[in-house]
Structure formats: C-alpha cells, structure tokens
Chains A and B, each alone.
Chain A
Amino acid sequence: MNRACLGINKNLHEQNLNASSIRPIKNNFVRMKKISLLFFVSILTVSLFSQAKKPVIMVFPSDQYCISRGYSMTFDNQGLSQTLPDYKKALQTDPDLRLVITKMGQIMADRGFPLKDLEQELKNLEQEGAEMSMLTSKSGAGIVESPIDKLKRTAKADILLDLDFTIKKSGPQTYISFNLKGLDAYSAKQVAGVAGAGKPSASAAPEILLEEAVLSQMDSFNAGLMRHFEDMFANGREVKMLIKLWDSSGDDLETEYDVSGESIELITAIDRWLDDNCVAGRYNRSDATASMGRYEQVRIPLMKKDGKGIDRAVDTRTFVSDLRSYLSKAPFNLTSKVYQRGLGEAWLIIGEK
C-alpha cells in the first residue's frame, strides 16, 4: 500500500544510488524526510521571525511596602536625606512577600509570561560584578566597564508589577488589602491594575488569605494586561525618544536644510520622518529646544520587513537606528549615536558616535 504523500519513485538509477535491492523504496523515504524537514524548518523560521519582542515582566514590592516595613536605605544626597527601598532585605526577610511573588509567578508562567525573579536577578548582578572585577586575560588585561555600564547594571524590566499588600485586622477577623499596578517602564503609564480587600476571616491563616487575594485578583489583572497587548498590536508599541546633541556638534536642531526644495529645520525634518514611520503617524513632541527634542507616545510598528522581505521584530533601538540612518544621508550627512534605554526608550545623540 502506498503511503500518503509518497509517490513511487520510478527512477531506478536514483534508487540504486542510496538503497539496496532489498529496500528499493528507501530513497523515497529519504526524499520525504528532506521535504518534511524543509517544510518544518521553513515553518519554524517564519514563526521565529514573525514574533514581536516580548516584554520582560518583574514584580517589585512598592516603595510604600518596603519603607513602611523598614526595608529601606537612607543616605545623604548633597545634604538632603533620601530613603530608598532595599529590595534585597525585603526579599530575604519577608516570607509573606515571597509567598505572593511565587504565587504570581506561577500564574503568570501558566499564561505564557514567566516573571523575571527580582531576588535571583539581584544575586546575578552581584555575581556578575564580582566576576567582572576578577576576570583577566592571559596578558593581564581586565574587562572594560565604563561608568555608564556600571550604572546600567541594575535589575530592569519592561513592565513593572508594583505590588503592595497589607494584612489588616477588624476585631477578631483578618483580611487582606491588595494593590497591584502594572507599569510600563518607559511611558510610566499604568497598563493594568487591581486593588481591593478580601473577605474577612476569623479562622483562616494570613498565608491562606494572601493566596486567596492573589488567586482572586490575577485574572482581572491579566485581562488588563491583555487589553494593553491588544492595543499594542493594533496601534504599535508606545515608546519614548529623545534627541540630544554632543557638545562637539557643529549643527543644532534649528539648523536649516534643503529637503525636496524646501528649507526646513532639522527638528521639522525629524517630525516629518516620524509622520511617515510611526503607526498612523502617531507621536507627540512634548518638548524641544535648539539642543533637545523630546518625543513621547511614539507608536512604533512591532514588525517590519527587512531587505529580504522577512518580518523582523522592531524595538525602539531599531526604530531610532532607522532615523539615524536617514540623518546620515544627504542633505543632512550627520553622524549620530543611538543610546538604548531598554525595549521602549532610546536616545539619538547627534554630532558623533
């Protein structure tokens, strides 16, 4: 019986090349395997390259939670006393916090968004710092780390889950007040949020009430997150862009250029490029001077086709790099540097690399 999708190979010469007379049909399997492999590889390639960049999500205990419980550091900032949350201390000493983060992580992993663990990330950063300071080449050379590299070595995420909860008492009964905000790290907008109090109980342990609070609230929170992602796919990723100048730059943003027979300022040329390249031309120039242009609510496409016609994921760096490329050509002929601040923010600094 012929197998489905398997035509009989009547070319005996070809069969003799790879199969014995005992198994004359072997070559057909070889061909079928090759076709199947090619098919699956092409499917895999399409699926790999047609995915938008996935935001990193991390739970942070809120400043209020940390400071009110003493998980904080106070230091003198030029004569001004400043208090900052001490995440490490909070995660090492607060079992309730760990329980809530674990439960949230379990639910988010089930929804296809495993959370980046803050405690592990802090440990990794410490370890990375220690290794970097010890690592040398055979000739004794150390690893180059600029001050900005050191500054950037912090726990980061694209969406921050700002968590706050309190175990409250009402007479003999205990209940949980729960507050969770999903914040876009770049636009500082709240993209999802839930808040509320659980049912008071005189018998249930606080741990059970905490688990109930998470179970009860997370579906609603994820629905908010879903709306945010749907909006992102429909209208593009909302990002921030900053245009700056090196002090060595000969031009500024008010320098005029002849573009298509019209004399326009550099900042206007950038506006027009954004008109053409943002999703539905949506962006907002919130502030600008001769030396700075601040763009907010810039809606960038999630995907774009490259030179080979393959869909590629776009992040802010890619988008701003396209602007850099536009400005490097005539009539501008400007050299500029792209400085990335995560998935949703990038700076273009004009003048040199």
Chain B
Amino acid sequence: MKKRLNLILLSLCVMALLPGTLNGQTRKERKILYHSQYNYEIEPVGVGQDGTKVFKVWGVGKDVNEAIMKAKADAVAACIFKGLTGGAGSAPTPPIISEPNAEDKYADYFETFFEVGGKYLQYIAVTTDGDPSGQDRLKLKKGYKVAIYVQVMYDALRRQLEADKIARRLDTGF
C-alpha cells in the first residue's frame, strides 16, 4: 500500500515538473543563447562624435575580462550585421552590410576579423573596461554578464569593409 502511494506521489511530481521542463530553457539552451552570434544586447546612449557610434553593450563570459572582450566583439559585430537601435537622441543606424546572410557568406573573413586580438579591436576607440560595477555587472551561475560603454569607429569600420569588398560602397557601379 505504502509502495503504491509513493508511486502515485512520484508520478504527480513528475507531471507537475513536466510543463516547466518543456517550456523553460535548459542549461544547454541558455549557454547556446549567451554564445549566439545573433544575440547582441545594445543600448544607445547618445550621438557619437563625427564618424563614431557610442552605446552600451552587454557581454557574457566565465569571468569579467572574458565578458568584456565578448562585449567589444559584439559591439563591432552589431555595427556590421545588426545595426543600432535609435534612442537617447540618436536615430537608428542601419547595419554596414545590408546583404542577407553576409556572416555566412564571408565566414572565413569574419573568422579572422573576430579572432582573439583580431582586427576588430582597431575599431573600438574608447571603452569603460575598468571592471564594471553595480547594475553593469551581473553574477550568473557560472560567470558574469557585464555592460561596457563603447565608442565604435563606425566610418573607419565601414571603409575597411568596403575596401575588402565585403560591404558595398554607396557609389558602386557609378
């Protein structure tokens, strides 16, 4: 009798947990999400000086330094592939490459461009990469999610991609 009661209780527990397991994110899914190449978290903070864009960008990593480096790479990647949302007085900025699936088409180029210590760092002018604190530094179960303020040399980045024939120049064909 006791055995049967235990079995019923166990079944009820499993049934109660089942919807949560189905709808919630697994740890693996969360990991994929954090490391997705499309998951840029950007917040505009104003209008940059001539040829630059300033915004706040979030990065996730095992430690604060890794998260900061991820945030820098994401800042440049957002300018190239996603564009920047408008806000805080700045108008929306379109991505430098308007061609769909450019990240796959030029995968080899961008692999080199975004490698550790790669050329992308040339286009980050100013960051607040002294350790972020307060609301800009979130402790996760395994690692950190931090926000840094970056100034991306948007025009210089565009010119480089145009020179490398990755982005189309406005006057191409004329």
Chain A residue with the shortest CB-CB distance to B94: A223
Q: Which of A52, A110, A225 contacts B173 (CB 8 A)?
A: A52
Known contacts: A112-B169, A112-B170, A215-B50. The answer to whether A196 contacts B91 by CB under 8 A is yes
Are A219 and B94 in contact (CB-based, < 8 A)? Answer: yes
In this complex, the interface size class of chain B, counting residues with CB under 8 Å from chain A, is 20 to 34
- Complex alpha-carbon distance, A230 and B174, angstroms: 12
Compute how far the CA of A217 lies from the CA of B46 in the bound complex, rounded to whole angstroms. 12
Number of residue pairs across A and B with beta carbons under 8 Å?
Answer: 63
A233 to B173, Cβ gap below 8 A?
yes
**Residue B90 interfacial (CB < 8 Å):** yes
Taking a contact as CB atoms under 8 Å apart, the answer to whether A212 and B89 are in contact is yes
* Chain B residues touching A, majority SS: loop
Verify A215–B173 contact, CB threshold 8 A.
Answer: no
A113 at interface (Cβ–Cβ under 8 A)? yes
Query: Provided the pairs A220-B93, A226-B98 are in contact, do residues A112 and B171 lie with their beta carbons within 8 angstroms?
Result: yes
Which chain A residues lie closer than 8 Å to B92 at the CB level? 220
Interface residues of A in 142-192 (CB under 8 A from B): none
Taking CB atoms, residues of chain A closer than 8 Å to B170 are 111-113, 222, 225-226, 229
Contact present for A199 and B88 (CB under 8 Å): yes
22 A-B residue contacts at CB 8 Å? A51-B173, A51-B174, A53-B174, A54-B171, A111-B169, A112-B169, A113-B170, A194-B91, A196-B91, A199-B46, A212-B89, A215-B48, A216-B47, A216-B89, A219-B91, A219-B94, A225-B170, A226-B98, A226-B168, A229-B172, A230-B98, A230-B168
B63 → A minimal CB distance (Å): 35
Q: Which residues of B contact A (CB under 8 A)?
A: 46-50, 86, 88-94, 98, 154-155, 168-174
Nearest Cβ on chain A to B88's Cβ, whole angstroms? 6
Residue of A nearest to B92 (CB): A220
- For window 205-229 of chain A, which residues contact chain B by CB distance below 8 Å? 212, 215-217, 219-220, 222-223, 225-227, 229
A175 to chain B: closest CB distance in Å? 8
Query: Which residues of chain B are near A212, meaning CB under 8 Å?
Result: 47, 89
Task: Say yes or no: is A58 at the interface (Cβ < 8 Å to chain B).
Answer: no
A residues at B contact (CB < 8 Å):
51-55, 110-113, 194, 196, 198-199, 212, 215-217, 219-220, 222-223, 225-227, 229-230, 233, 302
Chain B residues near A223: list those with CB within 8 A: 94, 98
CB distance from B47 to the nearest CB of A (A): 4
Q: How far is the CA of A34 from the CA of B155 in the complex (A)?
A: 40
Query: Cβ of B88 and Cβ of A219 under 8 Å apart?
Result: no
Q: Which residue of B lies closest to A197 (CB)?
A: B89
Asked if residues B91 and A217 are in contact (CB atoms below 8 Å), the reply is yes
Task: Choose from B50, B98, B171, B173 the contact partner of A111 (Cβ within 8 Å).
Answer: B171
Which of B46, B50, B173 contacts A229 (CB under 8 A)?
B173
Given A219-B93, A222-B170, A223-B94, 9 extra CB contacts under 8 A: A110-B155, A111-B171, A198-B47, A199-B47, A199-B88, A212-B47, A229-B172, A229-B174, A233-B173
